[in-house]
Structure 1
Amino acid sequence: MTFKPIYFIFLLLPLLSYSQTIATVVGIKDGDTIVVLLKDKTQQTLRLAEVDCPESGQAFGKNAKQFTSDAVFGKEITFEETDQDRWGRTIAKVFYDDNLYLSAEIIKAGMGWWYYRYSDDESLGDLEKEAKENKRGLWQDPHAVSPWEFRKKKQEERN
């Protein structure tokens, strides 16, 4: 069988779908949601992939937001869009400061949970376990409640 260039193009297609975009962080909505300014001067809201931070009304919610702000506010970042959420926000893997993965840094600092429902990256689970064992951030609270459980409880209270 001879090699045909068309086959090579099909091999590259999966790689092309994860192109990186450069942007500047201009806002922090909460620990896992940022606003970026794109090169064309439009703003885009990014929901961080693979991590879920405490809600603003939840213990450590302000701490998580401050951690994310300290890490990326005003900085140039790169991001890879991975999906859209049900509210139309772009879900993205965000990288900063010489390729640090923001979601991993949040989990490592104990400022968020590995969102295992939407992630296959078990190394993030290892970072969460290490943060928990070392009582970093929200893991200082032995009764820390995940954001998804917190949201579920709030929803039940409304009904």
Structure 2
Amino acid sequence: MKRILSILAAALTFGTAHAQPDQYRVVGVSDGDTIKVLSGDRQQVKCRLFAIDAPESNQPYGQRSKQSLSDLVYNKTVHVQVVDRDHYGRSVCRVFVNGVDVNKAQLERGFAWHYRKFDNDPAYIRAENAAKRERLGLWADANPTPPWAFRHSSRLRNFQ
């Protein structure tokens, strides 16, 4: 029941006042897996891309991941499918630009990990595996650190 209410709340955040409530203009790219979109009625919404986790900004490939996402979506009209809301209050979304799955594109380019804790889409698994095989993006490193491990180690360093 709580999940249903979260999804309804997220849907209401995106509004229903416009003819195409799932069409938004991207007005900001925070990092390799988070964007800010603007609705037709000028409401700004922060969207966390579903099923991927990109390097942190201060992590190797963090800035390149952000640039990749920016190249894909910045100042473009995107189609947004709200999947959930995260514990930070962000809408968790699948994002498409001209029919291209942006979340999957970040995996294909090697600028994000497939977050299998939340998703097991075979297409996303294949996209990540292909990027690894071809040593694209962050996979050029012999042993890249996943962002969740980087965040954990950063918290430990800050705690000490």
TM (norm. structure 1) is 0.86
What is aligned with 1:22?
23
CA RMSD between the two structures: 1.3
Deviations 1:29-70 (A, max 9, x none): 001000000011110000000110000000000000000000
What is aligned with 1:137?
137
The Cα shift of 1:122 comes to 2.3
Taking the aligned partners of 2:21 and 2:146, their CA distance within structure 1 comes to 30
What is aligned with 2:68?
67
Taking the aligned partners of 1:33 and 1:153, their CA distance within structure 2 comes to 21
What is aligned with 1:79?
80
What is aligned with 1:158?
158
The Cα shift of 1:158 comes to 1.8
Taking the aligned partners of 1:61 and 1:112, their CA distance within structure 2 comes to 9
State the AA in 2 paired with 1:73: Y
Deviations 1:75-117 (A, max 9, x none): 00010100001010000000002x1000100000000000111
SS in 2 for 1:118: coil
The Cα shift of 1:20 comes to 6.4
8 Å contact 1:20–1:80 — kept in the other structure? no
Percent identical residues: 33
State the AA in 2 paired with 1:29: S
State the AA in 1 paired with 2:28: G
What is aligned with 2:17?
none
The Cα shift of 1:120 comes to 2.2
SS in 1 for 2:117: helix
What is aligned with 1:58?
59
Aligned length: 141
What is aligned with 1:38?
39
What is aligned with 1:12?
none
> Are 1:147 and 2:134 counterparts?
no
State the AA in 2 paired with 1:112: A
The Cα shift of 1:156 comes to 1.4
8 Å contact 1:24–1:76 — kept in the other structure? yes
Taking the aligned partners of 2:84 and 2:72, their CA distance within structure 1 comes to 23
State the AA in 2 paired with 1:156: L
Taking the aligned partners of 2:73 and 2:114, their CA distance within structure 1 comes to 19
Deviations 1:119-159 (A, max 9, x none): 12122111111100100000000110100111111111122
What is aligned with 1:48?
49
For structure 2, list consecutive stretches of 5 or more residues without a partner in the other structure.
1-10, 12-19
